[in-house]
Structure 1
Amino acid sequence: MKWTMAPSGMAEAAGVVIAALLADGHEAFFVGGCLRDELLGRPVHDMDLTTSALPEEVIALFPRCVPTGLAHGTVTVLQGGHSFEVTTYRTESGYADHRRPEHVSFVRDVKEDLRRRDFTINAICCGQDGVMIDPFHGARDLQLRLIRCVGKAEERFDEDALRMLRCVRFASVLDFAIAKNTWRGLLRQRDKLAHIAVERMRSEIERIVEGPHPQRGLGLLLRSGLLPRGKAPFPWTGRDLAAAAARSAGLADLQDARLRWALLLHALGSSADTAGELLRAWKFPGAALSGIAAVLRVREAWDAALAAEAPEDPGASAGLRRRWIAAVLAHGRSAAEGWLTVAEAAERAAGCSATATPTPERGAFSLGAAAASTSGPGSKASLPGIAQMRSWTAEMRLQSLGELAVSGHELTAVLDKRPGPWLGVLLNRLLLAAAAGEIANDNQLLLQEAQRMDRDEE
């Protein structure tokens, strides 16, 4: 077979594995996702193989193997710097937990193996000669841009309830429609999703939100009613999700997955604390959770700044600048820039020139927060726009305590005080003053400023 979408080294190594199986008297084919993506003109990142050889026969044939799942007939063959899952033709039965089969039987007919698979577009195999075996017309469904279950949809979803989310994910990522009978089967079996581990659900939802057509996926999740039926909490109604999908129409424009989630949670009206709790319940990795929450904390800091500064006050701009710099120092430059990027996407979705800020109790947007003024030049009600806020960030003289030209030890010595909570407070006050350009980052000047601040506190 001639591959155009797979790396040549991978395709060549996979061909070596198939040739060895054929030479030993077995059948062997490329199968599943690699063929689907090749036919769609999408990059092929890995190749799975199916064979009539039993697992022990595969292991005996190749010097470098990993017994990945012998009970299910899967052996990982290492060849030419690549790894290939080689699975024996099998049938499955007895899905007691709506996820894993209780009984696996090895068979001799590749069509029986294809029959157990989830969707027709994944139930295609092809030999080295380029001849496809496609008993369920998956190639036709690829042309029709259609997700269709192999056989009866209700049975496929009853066997493995995660397939319902996979159905939505494929329709979203590929921008395909879902066949009517498949959709009806999904709706009838959706309560079975309660049997699926949270981690597995999250993995599918991540691929939807972070994929090329997230809005399509969100629409399908809304219509399917799948999310509230999982094990993890989902505190929003379908109406909330519908409104959030509209407000987060710029998701696909964001390349950073952290920012996509921040925009979606922002559109749902989540506070940083609530978002953190939800992401933790959905088993998001710690780094992802903290990164998303940090972006939302910057938003909250900016909302607090806007609430504290009266727009008509002549000093409002200076006050907002200082509060913005404080937010950048508290949560990090990456989180601050992340929020500005999210705000721009929300702005585009709102179809106006105002930065949208959430009203958590309503799960809605109120407009005008970080807005460029629409009142005309010189208006007392003018508020800084996103470009202005970026310039404030760029003008910051320093970014962290490590850059401050005075140490805690020096402060305790000059103030003749024992270390305590006061020290961190004072260091951060000095950091803010230096970052905002109110004082030079000079050791002696900072010590003098510390003494002044200390006197003012007495």
Structure 2
Amino acid sequence: MEWTMASSGMAEAAGTVITGLLAGGHEAYFVGGCLRDELLGRPVHDMDLTTSALPEEVMALFPRCVPTGLAHGTVTVLQNGYSFEVTTYRTESGYADHRRPEHVFFVSDVKEDLRRRDFTINAMCSGLNGVLIDPFGGERDLQLRRIRCVGLAEERFGEDALRMLRCVRFASVLDFAIAKNTWRGLMRQRDKLAHIAVERVRAEVERIIEGPHPQRGLALLLRSGLLPRGKAPFPWTGSDLAAAAARTAGLGNLQDARLRWALLLHALGSSAAAADELLRAWTFPG
């Protein structure tokens, strides 16, 4: 696999991990966001790997490992100064809290693993030979600049309600459209955002506001009606957010994230005291 958007050191180290897994008699692939960003020509900052090897088999092959999430099949392998999350092929079921699966089953087919993922653009993998395994049309969705759920959107959002904000975030940051069926599924499941921890919601909203297309993200947040349905206080109506978005046309030109938030809160008519209280409730750091 020829990487043009990842550092040569990281790509080489990841390749060494895959080679080690293959030599141990297992399958192993690059998976998810690193492939998405490579195909888009965006910088690749980290690489996730997926394998048929069980967690204990991964740990037996590499001297430096961290058992990050053994119950979910994830081991962090340290190689040449880089860390790689190596996850066993798995399926999931029983999302009682609309966030984490109650049951994880290790499987032998990488396509079954890709089937559990959120969006088609994140459900691709590739081996060292660079051949893309893309059973759900993620590469075509990248070409069409479209965010689309793997399988039924209503099911994917019902499993993990945070995926709805991730959907908005990917559409905003990448400046992509959201597929109609995916948007319909989001609108049907949006009340389930109430199950998600404030910290998780805040992290996604931060990435939207601090990303390259905050205006687009604000417009999608407004249309979705997601934020008033979360656990964090949201003291504005849709019309307030629409008016604020109109008054913050230069938001994306501000390099300092704190200035972006200050401008947005000012446009929403928040006093300093009210903004302080609100940001604390949204779990922003001091």
Which TM-score tier does this pair reach, normalised by the shorter chain?
over 0.9
Distance (Å, rounded) in 2 between the aligned partners of 1:216 and 1:24: 47
What is the match of residue 46 of structure 1? 46
Give CA-to-partner distance per residue, 1:118-177, whole Å, 9 cap, x none.
000000000000111000000000000000000000000000000000000000000000
Give CA-to-partner distance per residue, 1:391-410, whole Å, 9 cap, x none.
xxxxxxxxxxxxxxxxxxxx
Root-mean-square deviation (CA, aligned residues, Å) is: 0.3
What is the match of residue 208 of structure 2? 208
Letter in 1 for 2:238: G
- Give 3-state SS (helix, strand or coil) of 1:92's partner: strand
Distance (Å, rounded) in 1 between the aligned partners of 2:153 and 2:64: 39
Distance (Å, rounded) in 2 between the aligned partners of 1:109 and 1:66: 25
Greater RCO (CA < 8 Å, at least 6 residues apart): 2
Distance (Å, rounded) in 1 between the aligned partners of 2:249 and 2:104: 44
What is the match of residue 126 of structure 2? 126
Q: CA deviation at 1:78?
A: 0.1
What is the match of residue 185 of structure 2? 185
Distance (Å, rounded) in 2 between the aligned partners of 1:19 and 1:93: 31
What is the match of residue 276 of structure 2? 276
Distance (Å, rounded) in 2 between the aligned partners of 1:92 and 1:279: 35
What is the match of residue 326 of structure 1? none
In our comparison, the structure showing a higher alpha carbon Rg is 1
Give CA-to-partner distance per residue, 1:376-424, whole Å, 9 cap, x none.
xxxxxxxxxxxxxxxxxxxxxxxxxxxxxxxxxxxxxxxxxxxxxxxxx
Give CA-to-partner distance per residue, 1:25-76, whole Å, 9 cap, x none.
1000000000000000000000000000000000000000000000000000
Give CA-to-partner distance per residue, 1:235-289, whole Å, 9 cap, x none.
0000000000010111101000000000000100100000001100000001xxx
Residue 240, structure 1, aligned to residue 229, structure 2: no
Q: CA deviation at 1:88?
A: 0.1
Query: 1:294-313 counterparts in 2 under 5 A?
Result: none
Q: TM-score, normalised by structure 1?
A: 0.62
What is the match of residue 231 of structure 2? 231
What is the match of residue 109 of structure 2? 109
Distance (Å, rounded) in 1 between the aligned partners of 2:283 and 2:130: 42
Distance (Å, rounded) in 2 between the aligned partners of 1:165 and 1:278: 20
Query: 1:43-442 counterparts in 2 under 5 A?
Result: 43-286=43-286
Distance (Å, rounded) in 2 between the aligned partners of 1:91 and 1:127: 21
- Give 3-state SS (helix, strand or coil) of 1:96's partner: coil
Letter in 2 for 1:210: E
Residue 22, structure 1, aligned to residue 22, structure 2: yes
Identity %: 87
Q: CA deviation at 1:221?
A: 0.1
- Give 3-state SS (helix, strand or coil) of 2:53's partner: coil
Moved over 3 A (4+): none
Distance (Å, rounded) in 1 between the aligned partners of 2:146 and 2:232: 30
What is the match of residue 322 of structure 1? none
- Give 3-state SS (helix, strand or coil) of 1:30's partner: strand
Letter in 2 for 1:265: L
Task: Structure 1: give runs of 5+ residues left out of the alignment.
Answer: 287-458
Distance (Å, rounded) in 1 between the aligned partners of 2:15 and 2:80: 11
Distance (Å, rounded) in 2 between the aligned partners of 1:33 and 1:131: 16
Q: CA deviation at 1:178?
A: 0.0
Distance (Å, rounded) in 2 between the aligned partners of 1:38 and 1:246: 34
Letter in 1 for 2:220: L
Distance (Å, rounded) in 1 between the aligned partners of 2:49 and 2:129: 14
Q: TM-score, normalised by structure 2?
A: 1.00
What is the match of residue 370 of structure 1? none
Residue 2, structure 1, aligned to residue 9, structure 2: no
Distance (Å, rounded) in 1 between the aligned partners of 2:264 and 2:248: 6
Greater helix proportion: 1
Distance (Å, rounded) in 2 between the aligned partners of 1:173 and 1:38: 15
Q: CA deviation at 1:87?
A: 0.1
- Give 3-state SS (helix, strand or coil) of 2:168's partner: helix
- Give 3-state SS (helix, strand or coil) of 1:118's partner: coil
Distance (Å, rounded) in 2 between the aligned partners of 1:78 and 1:184: 41
What is the match of residue 36 of structure 2? 36
